[in-house]
Structure 1
Amino acid sequence: MVFPNLKIGDIVARVPIIQGGMGVGISLSGLASAVANEGGIGVIAGAMIGMNEPDVAKNPLEANIRALRKEIRKAKEMTRGILGVNIMVALTNFADLVKTSIDEKIDVIFSGAGLPLELPRYLKEASEQGKEEVRTKLVPIVSSARAASIICKKWLNRFDYLPDAFVVEGPKAGGHLGFKPEELDDPEFALEKVIPQVIEAVKPFEAQRNRRIPVIAAGGVYSGDDIRSYIDMGAAGVQMGTRFVATHECDADDRFKQAYVDAKQEDVVVIKSPVGMPGRAIRSQFVKDVDEGRRQPVKCAFHCIHSCKVEKSPYCIAAALLNAKKGNLNKGFAFSGTNVHRVDKIQSVKELVDSLKEEFEASRLSHPLPRTS
């Protein structure tokens, strides 16, 4: 066995890789099922998942719920592996997407873009209504030890429940970032620094309940050597997003994937998103137009994010991301991590995972752990 298993409660992935949930149609059933088939955890992103439904503008709530059910069921038809959903706290339909995912018996719910303080409520309600234990695992996405501690305390006090794991996302991630712009290059906020802090922060809670809370590293994880490094650091596994975009099975248009292959290091920029958070993206004509004030404020038909300042925004981020997903990068942009410039080809998920295994094994052999007496 090359990779160690990733255990989240009674769920065991033979490959310790979670495919990051990439919203507005980048990671749907196609990508998630392919990753699950290779032994990792495939993730469907819930953010504006119903953008292709014909009634999304008139009835976004039902359109998104319908689309999420479709994608979960399609993925389950294509794999017997482990499947998750990523549902951002900031979504206006957060609760409905969570309830739908639990109803569809998804294996794991990953939740960030805010502290998911109410998440266990929906699990308990489903158990009480169904008169049986719901097995869906709840995994918050955090950027600090403080956030992890707050969630553990709140969940214990209010729901007598501890997170089944934590994903710790560092400042090199793609998409919306849980950091202030000035923190992105500050070594104090580097993933290598935060991972050990979160591991220490959850130890008292692990001891209290006599069970492990795995900590998963995310944000800028690119190679098998990176995976080995974070596992040696104490992480139970990693989450990777950027690498899985440049795969045949990714649900985005081929032109979106090619933007990853073509991107140079200087093309990766941090933008100010309408949702009030910095976001890391590949520079496009659309991004240039926004920077130069050539985009005018818009009306929003979707109201998908609580924090979106519609009246002050020069564009609709949901529409921009959907345009990019469809390959129209003149009317949108692609989020990506800092290492996107290292992507040089589009390959299958199997080829990618196999190469990561080989790199991991080579790195493990060249970096043996010190013996303990």
Structure 2
Amino acid sequence: MNQQRQSLTEMLGIKYPILQGGMAWISEHNLAAAVSNAGCLGIIAGGNLSPEDLLYEIRETRKLTSRPFGVNVMLLSPYAQEQIEIICRERVPVVTTGAGSPSSFIEKLKTAGTKVIPVVASSGLARRLERQGVDAVIAEGMEAGGHIGKVSTMVLVPAVVSATRIPVIAAGGIADGRGLAASLALGASGVQMGTRFICTTECRAHSRYKERILLSNELDTVVTGNSNGHPVRGFRNRLTRHIEELEKQGSGFEEIEKIAVGALKRAVENGDINDGSMMAGQSCGLIGEILDVSQLVQSIIDEAEETIRFLGGIKKW
């Protein structure tokens, strides 16, 4: 399968096939640059950043690294169109997208020389986007933190691999070298990790956010928003219990959204672990220490190579 696909590391100009997830309020220039300097692809989270703020993040990243990096664009953001314009003007090497289809932006981005890699939650969407010219796709399973789909990583990744001929990046529930090796066995060309990169020294997330991850197990996250079609995975706390009560009462998306506005920022910047949105994937149960990004990447690669050797294979990145 992978022999028919372009190497992800060659496509993106990186040493290791690892992308850092674009997590709103978390993935800023310090983290993105550190990940890129470690040989992976660091990604700035566009989120709801104003055009001016995104431009600042891009330029600050370039001060810290000469290596490729990317920007994640949340297509539901009111600034998405303006963010795309800045990305094209600044010649950002890679764009990942979420919360919608990037169809209307693909040609513009590729003309600017930017690789386009959307997050997909189904093989059908992956196939359609491949026809429209995207360079790769991120198959994100429901184990992931934040906004999620309905299919697990173990099923979604091989389904997308079978449906396409472009590189497939596995995401959701991956936090170590074993996950990287397993993803390659499923046919993926690489992985994207979000939650694991929160527990690094370069990540700006509040210490209480990081501590919550370190003290957790794989059962500590909950999914809210299923009733209104906007499922989100995060740590169980007072906010999620409030949302669950509203869902039981039949409240619509707009009413629930009112109490969720600003909740992620409160968690990340203020360490509000009770009423903040503590987004995290099920991989939280695999994370036991805070490391420098370079140490983390090396430990992932070493463990992946050891796992592959144990299984009788030889992997050249």
Counterpart-to-counterpart distance in 2, 1:314 and 1:84: 29
Alignment of 1:235-246 (within 5 A): 235-246=188-199
Map Cα deviations across residues 55-78 of structure 1 (whole Å, 9 max, x no partner): xxxxxxxxx111101111111100
Residue 141 (structure 1) aligns with: 119
Indicate how the Cα distance of structure 1 residues 20 and 271 shifts in structure 2: closer, same or farther if over 3 A, else same: same
1:9-20 alignment runs, 5 A limit: 9=11, 11-20=12-21
User: Which residue matches 1:7?
Assistant: 9
Question: What secondary structure is seen at the aligned counterpart in 2 of 1:7?
Answer: helix
| Superposition CA RMSD, Å | 2.2
**1:24-46: CA deviations, max 9, x gaps?**
x1111111011000000001111
Mapped contact 1:269–1:283 kept (Cα < 8 A): yes
User: Which of 152, 167, 187 matches 1:190?
Assistant: 152
In 1, are the aligned partners of 2:35 and 2:42 still within 8 Å (CA)?
Answer: yes
One-letter amino acid of the structure 2 residue matched with residue 348 of structure 1: D
Identity fraction in percent: 33
Match of 1:263 in 2: 216
Closer, same or farther: CA 78–273 of 1 in aligned 2, 3 Å: farther
Work out whether residues 274 and 317 of structure 1, in 8 Å CA contact, stay in contact via their aligned partners in 2.
Answer: no
CA shift for structure 1 position 8: 5.8
Shift of residue 151, structure 1, vs aligned partner: 1.7
Q: Which whole-Å CA distance do the structure 1 matches of 2:33 and 2:171 have between them?
A: 20
In the alignment, the residues of structure 2 paired with residue 252 and residue 340 of structure 1 have an alpha-carbon distance, to the nearest angstrom, of 15
Match of 2:57, SS? helix
Q: Is the 8 A contact 2:175 2:287 kept in 1?
A: no
- What's the counterpart of residue 22 of structure 2? 21
Q: How much does 1:200 deviate? A: 2.4
Residue equivalent to 1:297? none
Paired position in structure 2 for 1:57 = none
**Residue 236 (structure 2) aligns with:** 283
What is the CA-CA distance between 1:14 and the residue it aligns to? 0.4
Aligned pairs for 1:39-54 within 5 A: 39-49=39-49
The one-letter amino acid of 1:14's match is K
Aligned-partner residue type, residue 156 of structure 2: V
- Which amino acid in the other structure matches residue 325 of structure 1? V
| TM-score, length basis structure 2 | 0.89
2:303 paired with 1:325? no
The superposition leaves residues 66-107 of structure 1 with CA deviations (integer Å, 9 ceiling, x where unpaired) of: 110111111110011221111122222221111111212211
Unaligned 5+ segments in structure 2 are 1-6, 247-251
The one-letter code of the counterpart of 1:355 is S
Q: CA deviation at 1:321?
A: 0.5
Instruction: Find the residue that maps to 1:101 and give its secondary structure.
Output: helix
Which residue identity does 1:237 align to in structure 2? G
Q: Report the AA paired with residue 7 of structure 1.
A: T
Q: What does residue 249 of structure 2 align with? A: none
How far does residue 140 in structure 1 lie from its aligned partner after superposition?
1.2
Letter in 1 for 2:159: Q
Distance in 2 between the 1:240 and 1:149 partners? 23
Q: Which amino acid aligns with 1:163?
A: V
* Aligned with residue 178 of structure 2, among 225, 229, 245: 225
Secondary structure of 1:168 counterpart: strand
Once residues 120 and 8 of structure 1 are traced to their aligned partners in structure 2, the CA distance between those partners, rounded to angstroms, is 21
Unpaired segments ≥5 residues, structure 1: 50-63, 128-133, 156-161, 180-188, 204-212, 294-307
Question: Contact conserved, 1:8 with 1:164, CA < 8 A, in 2?
Answer: no
- Count residues in correspondence: 303
Q: TM-score, normalised by structure 1?
A: 0.76
Contact 2:181/2:304 (8 A) holds in 1:
yes
